[in-house]
Structure 1
Amino acid sequence: MIESRIVGKAAPVRFENVSKRFGRDVLAVDNINLNVEAGKLVTLLGPSGCGKTTTLRMIAGLEMASKGTILIGDRDVTTLPATDRDVSMVFQSYALFPHMSVLENVSYGLTFSGFSKIEARERALAGLDLVGLKGFDARLPSELSGGQQQRVAVARALVLEPQVLLFDEPLSNLDAKLRRQVREDIRAIQKDLGLTVVYVTHDQEEALAVSDEIVVMRNASIAQIGSPRALYEEPVDQFVADFIGEANILPCTIENVENGNATISIEDYSYVLPARGLASGPAKLAVRPSRLVIGSELGFKAQVEKATYVGVRMEYSLKANFGAMFAVQDDVDSPLEVGTEIVVGFHAKSAVLLPEA
């Protein structure tokens, strides 16, 4: 069984002060340190041009680091070409050979790795079974859906039993429903086999759904590393708060700090939360749209400017004296009318102060 051979082979990846320059003027990755634990799925997340794909390609050996050290397991691979690194990569374009059958596509890499035709076929069939495509071996890629083609690409990478499996925007060519299904498939395979996976995306929801850990990148460097919940609930600054899901960034005043907790005020509303190293004075805090309490007994005044029904919830654009907010509510049966005056508060442990970036 291919499954039994893959388990236990996963290796950690470590970056030590790694930088990548293109020419003299373009610094694509700036002195990053990163540790990917064996058997974990770590996502590199960030806007276009932040350095996430270059980082992935340096793991693969498709780009060489300009400075620093890259290790896979205990092996220094910094200067090794892609062919000498025990990694496999799944591209967003699938990169399947259109004239080859599904089985031939999956076994293609095995034939160049010294396997006999019989063993290559057995391993390829096992790989297809692993990704839920048993019985599809004789089809051509053109006879498959986009999601099925991506699974073929995953199977082709898995059968090589890599120490590290890399994904470069693997779901960007799929529609929303397929994206959800395929990301669940990828996550299930990764967990079942204990694979080390480094996954690149710009889609925040995708990153939150599949990751053990997320590395948020900005301007060629790392802005924050943490679990999905930690990044969502405790962003280190406004950039991360804005980038990981939607967030209302609200002005407030820290009235006092005592025992690590800050008492903040927004107009006449007081709220206590962790100070995160901040002192008294003007500050900003982040509150997720689902954690604003509309119709709270305690809070600040606002007005409904826009109400939108999206099926499973209501979305509201709100206006307060200090600016605009966005809120969501599950109650779709009694929507608020535009122009309604309301009081807005916060759920417990829902707001977080933002240290200066």
Structure 2
Amino acid sequence: MTIASKAAPVRFENVSKVFGKDVIAVDNINLNVDAGKLVTLLGPSGCGKTTTLRMIAGLEMASSGRILIGDRDVTKLPATDRDVSMVFQSYALFPHMSVLENVRYGLTFSGFGKEEARARALKGLELVGLKGFDGRLPSELSGGQQQRVAVARALVLEPQVLLFDEPLSNLDAKLRRQVREDIRAIQQDLGLTVVYVTHDQEEALAVSDEIVVMRNAAIAQIGTPRQLYDAPNDRFVADFIGEANLIGCQIVAVDGDVATIEIENYRHDLPARGLGPGSATLAVRPSRIVIGGETGVKASVAKATYVGVRMEYTLTGDFGQVFAVQDNVDTPFEVGSELRMTFAGKGPVLLPDEG
């Protein structure tokens, strides 16, 4: 017996959700999730990502617009008729039931006979690496193992779409890394359509085929992890997808697709991204700041922190304050040191000046 994938695409067409008279939780969004892909809804608290997920599940009804799973309009259908499964942040396991009983619980309400439900539950546990754990109680498992039980319980129902609501938030850092790798591996092996909600940028970058960044009930930008990290559309996306230093600069020349920027007397060439001469914002990742050369922008070391594999520096100057990292831990810069900083040839991104 195998657990098959019936992966289906998800489509939002001008979907809004309003609570009460005027609380807009989701504002006229359009979204396509391809079958067999893992798409993450990412954003700060209150941005609308969880409400969007709950509308796919049928736990919230759209105020306007259409939601389709496959070719079927599910906008007005209850959760029980949508062929989706959801893995919750709290795991929602029954403490008095064994692991096997928890996993087969949903199957007993889906028309499966006792033996087939048992076989499917055992296969689900094997898929998530918990073969032999079927007789244990949830209290006898670690947090990571409990989360895997919750995933197995969702998988055995063979949903068209599998939903995850902040699934790793209750786990410590090491377990989060392991379980997210497990979830990604299962999703890819079975070709599942997964919509995944998190506020953790690193988690989103690690698991996603595509990321939907949300802000103020709307979609700010959609793209692959690399697209969003390397080419954010605006200051919000640049700062939210990984850390970014936002530095004011002047575009002093544009030649084709290449802009020359100036900060103090330091000049740097990079893609113009459609911008012309004038004020702009430079977004620079901490690892793309080069410190300690002979030329560049004047800065001083305000903080220096050793974190084992690297040094972390806070640098200040006329440009404001930036955060930089450096692999050289053997000869670090001391607090109060005066130095020069430049930028790596690849990585810094120009953004429109937002004043």
Same fold (TM over 0.5): yes
How much has 1:260 moved relative to structure 2? 2.3
Task: Give the distance between the partners of 2:218 and 2:175, measured in 1 at CA.
Answer: 32
Matches within 5 A, 1:50-65: 50-65=47-62
Task: Give the distance between the partners of 1:325 and 1:173, measured in 2 at CA.
Answer: 31
Aligned 8 A contact 1:237 1:356 in 2? no
Aligned 8 A contact 2:279 2:353 in 1? no
Task: Give the distance between the partners of 1:277 and 1:221, measured in 2 at CA.
Answer: 24
Task: Give the distance between the partners of 2:294 and 2:23, measured in 1 at CA.
Answer: 53
| Match for residue 37 of structure 2 among 27, 37, 40 | 40
Aligned 8 A contact 1:43 1:201 in 2? yes
The secondary structure found in structure 1 opposite 2:120 is helix
How much has 1:107 moved relative to structure 2? 0.1
1:253 corresponding residue in structure 2: 250
Aligned 8 A contact 1:276 1:355 in 2? no
Aligned 8 A contact 1:2 1:159 in 2? no
Task: Give the distance between the partners of 1:121 and 1:288, measured in 2 at CA.
Answer: 50
Is residue 2:174 matched to residue 1:177? yes
| Match for residue 312 of structure 1 among 294, 309, 313 | 309
2:196 corresponding residue in structure 1: 199
Task: Give the distance between the partners of 2:319 and 2:353, measured in 1 at CA.
Answer: 20
Matches within 5 A, 1:95-106: 95-106=92-103
Aligned 8 A contact 1:224 1:240 in 2? yes
Task: Give the distance between the partners of 1:16 and 1:298, measured in 2 at CA.
Answer: 52
2:239 corresponding residue in structure 1: 242
1:83 corresponding residue in structure 2: 80
| Match for residue 143 of structure 1 among 140, 143, 165 | 140
The secondary structure found in structure 2 opposite 1:24 is coil
Structure 1 runs of 4+ with >6 Å offset: none
Matches within 5 A, 1:265-280: 265-280=262-277
1:219 corresponding residue in structure 2: 216
1:31 corresponding residue in structure 2: 28
Deviations 1:243-294 (A, max 9, x none): 1111110010010222122111011111111112222111111000001011
Aligned 8 A contact 2:310 2:325 in 1? yes
How much has 1:301 moved relative to structure 2? 1.2
The secondary structure found in structure 1 opposite 2:56 is helix
The one-letter code matched in structure 1 to 2:35 is A
Task: Give the distance between the partners of 2:238 and 2:134, measured in 1 at CA.
Answer: 45
The one-letter code matched in structure 1 to 2:319 is F
- The gaps in structure 1 that reach 5 residues or longer are none
How much has 1:2 moved relative to structure 2? 2.4
Task: Give the distance between the partners of 2:277 and 2:333, measured in 1 at CA.
Answer: 36
The one-letter code matched in structure 2 to 1:2 is T
How much has 1:305 moved relative to structure 2? 1.1
Task: Give the distance between the partners of 2:2 and 2:90, measured in 1 at CA.
Answer: 25
- Number of residue pairs aligned between Structure 1 and Structure 2: 354
The secondary structure found in structure 2 opposite 1:264 is strand
Is residue 2:298 matched to residue 1:301? yes
The one-letter code matched in structure 2 to 1:295 is G
TM (norm. structure 2) is 0.98
Aligned 8 A contact 2:290 2:341 in 1? yes
1:19 corresponding residue in structure 2: 16
Deviations 1:171-198 (A, max 9, x none): 0111111111100000000011110000
Task: Give the distance between the partners of 1:356 and 1:106, measured in 2 at CA.
Answer: 52
1:113 corresponding residue in structure 2: 110
Task: Give the distance between the partners of 1:231 and 1:55, measured in 2 at CA.
Answer: 20
The secondary structure found in structure 2 opposite 1:11 is coil
| Match for residue 332 of structure 1 among 317, 320, 329 | 329
Deviations 1:82-131 (A, max 9, x none): 00001000000000000000000000000000000000000000000000
Task: Give the distance between the partners of 2:216 and 2:78, measured in 1 at CA.
Answer: 27
Output the aligned Cα RMSD.
0.9
The secondary structure found in structure 1 opposite 2:352 is coil
2:2 corresponding residue in structure 1: 2
Change (3 A) 1:156 1:33: same
The secondary structure found in structure 2 opposite 1:284 is strand
How much has 1:50 moved relative to structure 2? 0.2
| Match for residue 206 of structure 2 among 198, 204, 209 | 209
How much has 1:356 moved relative to structure 2? 5.0
Change (3 A) 1:223 1:309: same
How much has 1:355 moved relative to structure 2? 2.4
Task: Give the distance between the partners of 2:132 and 2:25, measured in 1 at CA.
Answer: 44
The secondary structure found in structure 2 opposite 1:110 is helix
The secondary structure found in structure 2 opposite 1:348 is coil
